[in-house]
Structure 1
């Protein structure tokens, strides 16, 4: 499993691991050194004590032993103390000797065919080793904890410029033409190089956004003239008395498509002028007014397709919103429902916070719902009409106006789009239509 950590966490982890390794090596080194040194000192001490005993005139004088915890044995006994059999098998020199649960260091020597053994009890030595081991373990744990604390403090100081740079890059004003450069605030180090890279990238991004807005504005503006010509021509043709019914129907379709295209052009032009902020006020209308207007436009087309159309108004839906943008959102959702519904009904429901558009169409799979608001994504690729821009435009307008749009599935088929126009919890807006999910 790929576990991802932040850069600050990685610094702390690396610092802690490095400190743990160093502290562990020192702890093992201390314990090993003390053990080796004390063993060596024990060898020297036992050897010296045994030599002193052997140089005495009488071995029996050893009953006044100079070292506490030492036992002296000769193979013919001292004061009726006979050398045990386990001591007789010891080889000459220094060695560790076990007697029951007790541990001894033994120094064995042979002089004139006679064996001499000097034992030293190691319980005091083992006690000191346990104390030393405890001190080393406590020191090791404290070193690790201290390294983690220091690692967090150092990581915070190291990451402070990076966090500051990230905050500056995320700030929306960085996309403005007059945004100050970032590199001037940082030293000529790795963070400064990163800031210069961001300056270059943001500069290219600003230029690209400027070209996009200029292109959208110019294209939208230039399209208004031919659309006006088409609309005027359709009006003149519809006034022609000798136009047969079939031709009149086609002209009406052209007029309707021209009106929709003109509305779309106005929406794009308005969004191109916002520069990431709220659109200019312009003409404002209530949700009820826009809904009544679009219901009159879409009801004939929906019923002509054999679908039932239900409109549930709300007397409290009287807030004023940008007319062009609200009309585009509601119109695109109604068009989307009409396009993907072949039987059943389409329902438009207003509430005090916004509205919802429900249908009994083909529905949208759950795994595809998140991608439906992306450009050029369509619910059914087999349907030839449309480029998949309608829902993307709805999402863009809602983001621009601080509205919210959500998609949910209906049972047994179909979907429901809910748009919240006011700053309220989406669940409250959904609860305005209980029992329809």
Structure 2
């Protein structure tokens, strides 16, 4: 399992681990040093006492006795001086001997084949040693807690430039053409290099956005003239009383397609301006736009043998962009008409938006998330469309702060629900 921590947590963890390593090494060094000094000092002390006792024996001066906390044993000794079995195999030098709940320091020396052992009770020494070790380990734990506290304080200080840079990069004003560069606000270190890289990337992004807006504006502007010619020519042809019914039907199709193209051009222009945050949205009644689109799509839907259900169950007014709202609703109706061969198409107005439902081929669950991406059409049963209608719907909703949801209809079909949020665009 991969554990993901933010930069601040990583700094704290690194600081605590480093402090733990240093403090642990220092504590272990103290423990080892205490044991080493203990062995050296006690070896010298017990060795001196043993030499004194050996001198007593050689002089047959038994008036001198070991210290009260000491025991003296040797090979061939009698009474209290007899060598116990647990001391007979000790090598010469310093040892620690444990008897039941008692602990002794022992020093062994062999002289002329005889083994001499001096024991000294280490209970008091062990108590002092335990106090020392408790202080050492207490200091170790305190150093870890202090490292955790200092790590958090230092982490905040260290990542402060990174957090500030992150906020500046996420600010919407960074996409404006006159946005100031970020690098001059930072030192010439790693954060400064990162700010310079963001400046370069944001510059390329601004250029791409500007090219897209200019392209949208130029294309939309240039298409207006030929579309106007098509619309006026269609009107003149329709005014001709000698036009045959079959030809009139074709001219009506041309006029309707021309109107749709004009609306689409206006949609692109409006969307480009909306993405730049221009203009204040007028108060729009959703039902008036729905009435227009129902009247527009009734004939194509019913001529296909479908039933158009229109249920304006709620009144909704708000500061909505009428062109973009008409485009979203119209694209969803067109999508329902295109992919439904039998059954119905339903437009339902709700208190917070509207729903477009159909009984068409539907969209499999594993394809629904990708249906709002450009040029995604779903399976073969979805026909030969370009896959741009739902992408445009998603783009408009994202720009305006609206929400579009896709769900299935039993036994087949799709249900698109659009939640309109007044004043959410910006």
TM over 0.5: yes
Residues 220-235 of structure 1: pairs in structure 2 closer than 5 A: 220-235=220-235
Task: Say yes or no: does 1:200 pair with 2:200.
Answer: yes
In structure 1, the residue matched to 2:305 is 306
- The Cα shift of 1:80 comes to 5.7
- Asked whether the equivalents of residues 278 and 401 of structure 1 are also in contact (C-alpha less than 8 Å), the reply is no
After superposition, the Cα gap between the structure-2 partners of 1:157 and 1:331, relative to the gap in structure 1 and judged at 3 Å, is: same
**Distance in structure 2 (CA, Å) of the matches to 1:242 and 1:11:** 85
In structure 2, the residue matched to 1:392 is 391
After superposition, the Cα gap between the structure-2 partners of 1:69 and 1:80, relative to the gap in structure 1 and judged at 3 Å, is: closer
TM-score normalised by length of structure 2: 0.91
**Distance in structure 2 (CA, Å) of the matches to 1:17 and 1:315:** 62
In structure 1, the residue matched to 2:6 is 6
| SS in structure 1 of the partner of residue 62 of structure 2 | helix
Task: Indicate the larger mover: 244-253 or 153-162.
Answer: 244-253
| SS in structure 2 of the partner of residue 371 of structure 1 | coil
**Distance in structure 2 (CA, Å) of the matches to 1:315 and 1:84:** 104
- The Cα shift of 1:71 comes to 0.5
After superposition, the Cα gap between the structure-2 partners of 1:125 and 1:410, relative to the gap in structure 1 and judged at 3 Å, is: farther
- Asked whether the equivalents of residues 70 and 121 of structure 1 are also in contact (C-alpha less than 8 Å), the reply is yes
After superposition, the Cα gap between the structure-2 partners of 1:320 and 1:70, relative to the gap in structure 1 and judged at 3 Å, is: closer
- The Cα shift of 1:152 comes to 1.2
CA-to-aligned-CA distance 1:245-304 (integer Å, 9 cap, x gap): 33332222222111111100000011222343255547x641111111110111121122
- The Cα shift of 1:365 comes to 2.8
**Distance in structure 2 (CA, Å) of the matches to 1:159 and 1:102:** 56
**Distance in structure 1 (CA, Å) of the matches to 2:415 and 2:253:** 28
After superposition, the Cα gap between the structure-2 partners of 1:107 and 1:382, relative to the gap in structure 1 and judged at 3 Å, is: same
**Distance in structure 1 (CA, Å) of the matches to 2:143 and 2:366:** 50
Q: May I ask how many residue pairs the two structures share in their alignment?
A: 422
In structure 2, the residue matched to 1:25 is 25
Residues 69-88 of structure 1: pairs in structure 2 closer than 5 A: 69-77=69-77, 81-88=81-88
- Asked whether the equivalents of residues 277 and 400 of structure 1 are also in contact (C-alpha less than 8 Å), the reply is no
Task: Say yes or no: does 1:251 pair with 2:261.
Answer: no
In structure 2, the residue matched to 1:410 is 409
5+ residue gaps, structure 2, are: none
Task: Indicate the larger mover: 212-221 or 26-35.
Answer: 26-35
**Distance in structure 1 (CA, Å) of the matches to 2:402 and 2:122:** 82
CA-to-aligned-CA distance 1:222-266 (integer Å, 9 cap, x gap): 111111111222222233334333333222222211111110000
CA-to-aligned-CA distance 1:74-111 (integer Å, 9 cap, x gap): 33435665332333443443334343454433222344
After superposition, the Cα gap between the structure-2 partners of 1:155 and 1:318, relative to the gap in structure 1 and judged at 3 Å, is: closer
In structure 2, the residue matched to 1:62 is 64
**Distance in structure 2 (CA, Å) of the matches to 1:161 and 1:89:** 69
In structure 2, the residue matched to 1:378 is 377
- Asked whether the equivalents of residues 338 and 346 of structure 1 are also in contact (C-alpha less than 8 Å), the reply is yes
In structure 1, the residue matched to 2:420 is 421
TM-score normalised by length of structure 1: 0.89
- Asked whether the equivalents of residues 289 and 326 of structure 2 are also in contact (C-alpha less than 8 Å), the reply is yes
Task: Indicate the larger mover: 338-347 or 242-251.
Answer: 242-251
Residues 134-153 of structure 1: pairs in structure 2 closer than 5 A: 134-153=134-153
**Distance in structure 2 (CA, Å) of the matches to 1:252 and 1:180:** 53
| SS in structure 1 of the partner of residue 387 of structure 2 | coil
Task: Indicate the larger mover: 319-328 or 208-217.
Answer: 319-328
- Asked whether the equivalents of residues 73 and 80 of structure 2 are also in contact (C-alpha less than 8 Å), the reply is no
CA-to-aligned-CA distance 1:331-374 (integer Å, 9 cap, x gap): 01111111122222211111232211112222223333232222
In structure 1, the residue matched to 2:356 is 357
CA-to-aligned-CA distance 1:39-69 (integer Å, 9 cap, x gap): 1211111111101122234452233x33x42
| SS in structure 2 of the partner of residue 36 of structure 1 | helix
**Distance in structure 2 (CA, Å) of the matches to 1:145 and 1:157:** 19
CA-to-aligned-CA distance 1:383-432 (integer Å, 9 cap, x gap): 4543222122222222333322222222332222112223599xxxxxxx
5+ residue gaps, structure 1, are: 426-437
Task: Say yes or no: does 1:182 pair with 2:144.
Answer: no
- Asked whether the equivalents of residues 288 and 314 of structure 1 are also in contact (C-alpha less than 8 Å), the reply is no
In structure 2, the residue matched to 1:324 is 323
- Asked whether the equivalents of residues 60 and 78 of structure 1 are also in contact (C-alpha less than 8 Å), the reply is no
Task: Indicate the larger mover: 84-93 or 159-168.
Answer: 84-93
In structure 1, the residue matched to 2:346 is 347
| SS in structure 1 of the partner of residue 371 of structure 2 | helix
- Asked whether the equivalents of residues 39 and 94 of structure 2 are also in contact (C-alpha less than 8 Å), the reply is no
